[in-house]
Structure 1
């Protein structure tokens, strides 16, 4: 077998140009597989590592746990560490929400709470605040200073009456930009103070704990065990909260494993298609060489081994190069992506710092192992057919083998006049299989490209934001119930003294730039026969005018009811969201509601006329009725939301005036489409970067294959082309023929990529729409990616034809004819 190995090695040296192309293709495929795995897995690991450093470290949290059950949980055998948090009240402030909370030492540690300066509460009247809290309250203070704060204690039926107490500042926590933007803050009191203020029977804890032996469990097992413990202690499932971010960062997540397997399979399949096509095209002319060896006595097994060993030698040389390049570039790519995405997101800033300091390992042995096995396996499979061909054909057949398909006896069709197109067509037809494999291989990566591009095109932040707010600007009432100090915030009171009066709405309409104002009304109550965790379910009804009739009917997914039928007042339109909580509800069921009419309550029974699926922009309610029905039932002012359309040229000034109008009432809050859009663009940034990176890699696979296929197609036919030139074909005609062949490959590839890819992409859109992925609902053809794909493939075809033609001209006619002899 030494002779076989030496012959294979000699073939590698002899066919340097051809094997160099194969080696480059294998190295690039190795790089693509390795980078997809490294960057994909690395992005997840970096994010999870930043979560691990940034997020609390408890596994499960129970809410609303009594004092008795809290003590029992503290000695539970399956719990290794437990921390307590109690929210005791809320500081009184007109502009911000400031929650008073208390935690024991374990709770502080499990929450990874940190202070900018000072210490956590040790004495009863100690308090930790932030500078943002002091600014909101208009108080100045430093460590050791005493401050007097008005607050309301949480009670079972809401919030109690106002109290006031004096505390000593023992520490300062950080105020994030998000706190300031949302105007949501926390202060930390001592647990002793919290227990003193709230009677034992009324205490409700948030119990945070870590399970014993969790290192041997998956995330699903941890979550399931947490629910079982909660069930044993009467904790409703809705009050069992899994720390999913931390669990995903530290424990095996089955869904993550499945996701990684899907990505790996996709990349490996792309690599298999690519390398198989390369070997199939590149190995065909070498069969002639093996025919000579067979003529002088080589056995079939020896021939197969020569083909196999030559291919594996090329792979063995190219694979380390690909791995070496990948190892260096993947780290650089990773750093650039994380830096680009960091922005003002504190979590991503932590991730960028971890990558910069090298605290997260990006190179893993299993990535090298999977890449090596995938490439070796693909090379071996790709060599199978050339091995069979070389071993099977007779020496005479091998000498003239061109990879042409065997045909039965048939009448040969000839032409009196031979044209460039007929020559090109004859070459493509007699090499149908090679042409088909090349186009299908290139088209497969193009199909994947179009599918991903379609999903990204449909997940447009502008559309998603519009599903959250239908107009340009929104003014909405902010109400809540169960607050003894602010009973006027209850909707039953607000509807009797509603700031959204006709005069106010007229003022809004008079603002320069406002084009249209739509009013949505609201009525609430209870549905006695529906309950969840012992609580009677709320009946929230949005009232819409006749302009929404078409929208309501289009959204119906079960049953059908018209706006005119709803106006009769005996039927109601239910949101599909209700089916998540009460799947037993169906069209035709009767629902008795107890509705709030100011200080009075009225019972009203509705028949579910239809069930509809609607976006939050419609009101985000459980039920919908015509405004006229609500007005007939309730004489109070039910105006709830103003949807305001503003002229694009006057938005800035109009927004300022609208905000000034809303600021005149503490009951009103505002929002704009631009704010929602900015939020969604931020959320989609990571997804877009990862997906487009994946698209670029898939495009790289296709481009690599196109380069190899076109070059091999021309180089392996030097002798044939030389003989055609010897009988009269000019250089110009030869170049035109090569260009025409390239155009056929290009058009075939684009037909598969864009044509079939568009159909598969539409199927992916329908699936995403059904599963509510990225709130996708409207199909958008990915015009820009499709045009880019066409332009890149066409440009490469022109470039390749020019490059190959220039190289081909360097050979004399005799050298072309003598090629491979």
Structure 2
């Protein structure tokens, strides 16, 4: 057999075939570009959001180091620093227990020495001025300067009050440099020079193990070669350096992995994996539908051309290659357009996602990551090649005789001929025409339906975001007032309690309805005897009793307790013989019942330190027995001190105040009439700014604003994707109708030649479009209902702030528009393409 090199001929044929199909090319390029936009938008949105959240998390965690050792000495640092697993390690030394300047009441500040590695890993390198060198030079962030009232000028004087092992010391410094504050990191950083450390080394000796003073403690940040399996690497470093991982061992070093990197070690559960794969499959299928349909219709239209090629010896493989070349060339035109447009769409959507996260104030920067474009290109090219495979095979397999006689939707000779008096009516003929190519009809209907189902899904999700659930996690009353330290998770007791003057001022305002205080504190700790948990641990005292958080509630907070089991009997609680145990909630608001220590009806022993001595007998004198009346939910932001405790209990305020020497009100929750909410918010803002600056507040109004922003973001992002998929579906419909009209021009000419008028022809085409629209409506409604009940409802159940609501009105509203487009598009296309006379169209068959 003689081998002929026909690559140049095939390439020329492919190019000329492209030039002869300009309408097909335009539609194909648009389809490929839209598919690329879809992939690129999602890749940009996904990668950009993950990166932005991780960067914001790193900043909130204090840096991008992989791990940190806590409160170690110079000897410990020297033993660890040269371990082969460590790529680099910083030297971070705390220089006092705290800064006591009154300006730092609502935003704490810390004094540190960081070497060059620490400055870089902690995002603390000065962007103005220079690094501190002299003993009295410091650098800090801009918000700290603003709080101190210090201008952003090199050499500006700064006086700081340092708490060094309980004693306040004032020292004068000068500003050497500064950097822009990050909104996610709500702690001021003031950094000194190495010269300062050397000059004050006597007071910076690390005694943390003896007195728990932070002064002089070293907290080095470690970077490994990568972020994989960080926990294991850190453990290896500690063990190899001669330290124990047992918290009770004398050679134990406190340590932890940077939680900003924890996501890299988490596995994906089966439900999430199914959801991600399903979403990706849906996108691929959406792109496949239109690209496949475009090339299938193109092959059908050019079937006679491929038949003629086969008569002169062209092989099926060469015909497949010809179609594949055309697809690749069109991809070269369409993909770059889609990549560029998709990146900017995704870049615009990322800030909307971040805005609804806990890092809403973070700066967002979406860089053109190469993986965005590589991943999108790979998926689009794969979609194009998969989509053109079957049309190519169809063209390659057809015989020359069949190809010459081929028309769109040929009726096989074995089909029965049906007689009908109404068969010649345009409505009946339109319905019969859709049945001539059932596969294409189904594909067009499915592609149009996908965007409608997605649109309905978006609105279902937006309406299922439950404001009550969302607000109840943060504020379950209209307002919550407290000392500023409480909102910094730094409440201890009487020294930073909510003042009676603040409470009185609030209660005297118009619209005040009802309120109540939450009492607690760490100055007078409680312990419990738990016979079910005899093993002492880090949260137990020398007697084997476990440290517990006990809260007193009066008025509104007591009524707002969420009962899990048992009874919320106020009369029994008032006797002082009953107590409620708190139960932790997971992220979805479900109680973690395995955290319960006592069953309902069980007796437990509670100890407190009021008037106790050192001996066991004196301690036992303060013991008090309670019967567990039931279990209630621990609300971190409304009925606790915002710290996780192993044991948590609730009592009426009247009973609680009898158990402690100095009852301290942690917070005060209250409701107001709806029409006074805005006025009360303004009043509290002014009061905490000018009357009692040490006080602060939060409100339901703030959380409600965040909630509405989240709902808008869901609609905006989902709506954008719906529009893209909708354009793909409409493009598919236009292509199907256009090709159908072009391939049936001879058929239309024959119908006109036997008496069918132009208005009747237009009516028939309008009916075809109407049937497409009605078919889409039926499929969208059916599939939309099934998808909503089976998939969307399940998804809503996975997120704590969602409560599923079945809605179908978005579909119903869009369907009239779909019907209008279904009728108009075929008529416009017929008018545009109807340029030849009947005779000219009939001669095309010769």
Q: Is the 8 A contact 1:101 1:186 kept in 2?
A: yes
Q: Which range moves more in the overlay, 444-453 or 251-260?
A: 251-260
**2-side partners of 1:752 and 1:143: how far apart?**
69
Query: Counterparts in 2 of 1:302-317, with a 5 A limit?
Result: 302=314, 304-305=316-317, 307-317=319-329
Whether 1:372 and 2:381 are equivalent positions in the alignment is: yes
* Cα offsets for 1:645-689 (capped at 9, x unmatched): 455655443323234555655664201334335556778998877
**1-side partners of 2:643 and 2:173: how far apart?**
44
How many residue pairs match? The answer is: 778
Q: Is the 8 A contact 1:61 1:208 kept in 2?
A: yes
User: Alpha-carbon deviation of 1:208?
Assistant: 0.3
Q: Among 189, 204, 207, which residue is 2:220 paired with?
A: 207
Q: Is the 8 A contact 2:513 2:673 kept in 1?
A: no
Does the residue aligned with 2:65 lie in a helix, a strand or coil?
coil
**1-side partners of 2:419 and 2:598: how far apart?**
69
Partner of 1:797: 822
User: Alpha-carbon deviation of 1:588?
Assistant: 3.2
Q: Is the 8 A contact 1:82 1:208 kept in 2?
A: yes
Partner of 1:499: 499
**2-side partners of 1:23 and 1:117: how far apart?**
53
Whether 1:225 and 2:270 are equivalent positions in the alignment is: no
Q: Which range moves more in the overlay, 231-240 or 314-323?
A: 231-240
Does the residue aligned with 2:764 lie in a helix, a strand or coil?
helix
**2-side partners of 1:544 and 1:414: how far apart?**
84
Q: Is the 8 A contact 1:27 1:319 kept in 2?
A: yes
User: Alpha-carbon deviation of 1:526?
Assistant: 4.4
Q: Which range moves more in the overlay, 703-712 or 452-461?
A: 452-461
Q: Is the 8 A contact 1:25 1:275 kept in 2?
A: no
* Cα offsets for 1:739-796 (capped at 9, x unmatched): 2221222233344345423542454444444443xx4322356779657864764564
Q: Which range moves more in the overlay, 190-199 or 94-103?
A: 190-199
Q: Is the 8 A contact 2:89 2:223 kept in 1?
A: yes
Q: Is the 8 A contact 1:331 1:362 kept in 2?
A: no
Q: Among 639, 642, 653, which residue is 2:679 paired with?
A: 653
Query: Counterparts in 2 of 1:533-682, with a 5 A limit?
Result: 538-539=548-549, 541=551, 543=553, 552=562, 556=564, 560-564=565-569, 569=578, 572-577=581-586, 583=594, 585=596, 588=599, 592=604, 594=606, 603-605=624-626, 607=628, 609=630, 616=637, 629-635=652-658, 640-646=666-672, 650-660=676-686, 664-665=691-692, 668-677=695-704
Does the residue aligned with 1:200 lie in a helix, a strand or coil?
coil
User: Alpha-carbon deviation of 1:161?
Assistant: 3.1
Q: Is the 8 A contact 2:93 2:113 kept in 1?
A: yes
Q: Is the 8 A contact 2:129 2:154 kept in 1?
A: yes
Does the residue aligned with 1:169 lie in a helix, a strand or coil?
strand
Partner of 2:764: 737
Does the residue aligned with 1:669 lie in a helix, a strand or coil?
strand
User: Alpha-carbon deviation of 1:92?
Assistant: 1.6
Partner of 1:20: 25
Partner of 1:508: 506
Does the residue aligned with 1:671 lie in a helix, a strand or coil?
strand
Cα distance change, pair 615–348 in 1 and its aligned pair in 2 (3 A): closer
Whether 1:70 and 2:77 are equivalent positions in the alignment is: yes
Query: Counterparts in 2 of 1:778-793, with a 5 A limit?
Result: 778-780=803-805, 786=811, 790=815, 793=818
* Cα offsets for 1:173-219 (capped at 9, x unmatched): 2463739x95x4232244346753344332533220122xx1xx4x3
Partner of 1:185: 188
Q: Which range moves more in the overlay, 97-106 or 606-615?
A: 606-615
Q: Is the 8 A contact 1:493 1:598 kept in 2?
A: no
Q: Is the 8 A contact 2:458 2:718 kept in 1?
A: yes
**2-side partners of 1:416 and 1:142: how far apart?**
91
* Cα offsets for 1:310-365 (capped at 9, x unmatched): 4224313312211343455456556766799999999975727x67xxxx668855
Does the residue aligned with 1:715 lie in a helix, a strand or coil?
helix
User: Alpha-carbon deviation of 1:81?
Assistant: 1.8
Partner of 2:442: 436
Cα distance change, pair 669–277 in 1 and its aligned pair in 2 (3 A): same
Q: Is the 8 A contact 1:268 1:374 kept in 2?
A: yes
Q: Is the 8 A contact 2:294 2:732 kept in 1?
A: yes
* Cα offsets for 1:703-757 (capped at 9, x unmatched): 3222212322333333333434444443333323322221222233344345423
Q: Among 370, 376, 393, which residue is 1:384 paired with?
A: 393
Q: Is the 8 A contact 1:587 1:609 kept in 2?
A: no
Does the residue aligned with 2:476 lie in a helix, a strand or coil?
coil
Whether 1:351 and 2:365 are equivalent positions in the alignment is: yes
Q: Which range moves more in the overlay, 135-144 or 78-87?
A: 135-144
Cα distance change, pair 592–71 in 1 and its aligned pair in 2 (3 A): farther
Cα distance change, pair 98–791 in 1 and its aligned pair in 2 (3 A): farther
TM-score by length of 2: 0.74
Q: Among 401, 404, 422, which residue is 2:428 paired with?
A: 422
**1-side partners of 2:254 and 2:720: how far apart?**
39
Cα distance change, pair 725–410 in 1 and its aligned pair in 2 (3 A): closer
Query: Counterparts in 2 of 1:43-122, with a 5 A limit?
Result: 43=48, 47=52, 56-87=63-94, 88-94=96-102, 95-96=105-106, 97-115=108-126, 117-122=128-133
Q: Among 316, 320, 339, which residue is 2:332 paired with?
A: 320
- Structure 2 unaligned spans of 5+: 209-215, 541-545, 613-621
Whether 1:806 and 2:816 are equivalent positions in the alignment is: no
**1-side partners of 2:609 and 2:514: how far apart?**
26
Partner of 2:618: none
* Cα offsets for 1:212-260 (capped at 9, x unmatched): xx1xx4x333454135435774467996444466899xx9999899999
**1-side partners of 2:131 and 2:340: how far apart?**
45
Query: Counterparts in 2 of 1:463-474, with a 5 A limit?
Result: 464=470, 467-474=473-480
Q: Is the 8 A contact 1:492 1:597 kept in 2?
A: no
Cα distance change, pair 105–634 in 1 and its aligned pair in 2 (3 A): same
Q: Which range moves more in the overlay, 515-524 or 695-704?
A: 515-524
Q: Is the 8 A contact 1:65 1:204 kept in 2?
A: yes
Q: Which range moves more in the overlay, 446-455 or 276-285?
A: 446-455
Cα distance change, pair 118–284 in 1 and its aligned pair in 2 (3 A): closer
- Structure 1 unaligned spans of 5+: 154-159
**2-side partners of 1:741 and 1:173: how far apart?**
70
User: Alpha-carbon deviation of 1:165?
Assistant: 2.7
**1-side partners of 2:838 and 2:552: how far apart?**
84
* Cα offsets for 1:561-587 (capped at 9, x unmatched): 343499563553523349999956478
Partner of 2:543: none
Does the residue aligned with 2:696 lie in a helix, a strand or coil?
strand
TM-score by length of 1: 0.76
Report the RMSD for the aligned CA atoms in angstroms: 5.3
Q: Is the 8 A contact 2:450 2:725 kept in 1?
A: no
Q: Is the 8 A contact 2:552 2:651 kept in 1?
A: no
**2-side partners of 1:735 and 1:363: how far apart?**
46
Q: Which has the higher strand share?
A: 1
* Cα offsets for 1:614-638 (capped at 9, x unmatched): 6856767879999874534544867
Q: Among 740, 750, 753, which residue is 1:723 paired with?
A: 750
Cα distance change, pair 538–376 in 1 and its aligned pair in 2 (3 A): same
**2-side partners of 1:715 and 1:548: how far apart?**
76
User: Alpha-carbon deviation of 1:491?
Assistant: 3.1
Cα distance change, pair 567–466 in 1 and its aligned pair in 2 (3 A): same
Whether 1:714 and 2:717 are equivalent positions in the alignment is: no
Q: Which has the higher helix share?
A: 1
Cα distance change, pair 704–239 in 1 and its aligned pair in 2 (3 A): farther
Does the residue aligned with 1:178 lie in a helix, a strand or coil?
coil
User: Alpha-carbon deviation of 1:426?
Assistant: 2.4
**1-side partners of 2:746 and 2:713: how far apart?**
52
Does the residue aligned with 2:549 lie in a helix, a strand or coil?
strand
**2-side partners of 1:429 and 1:188: how far apart?**
77
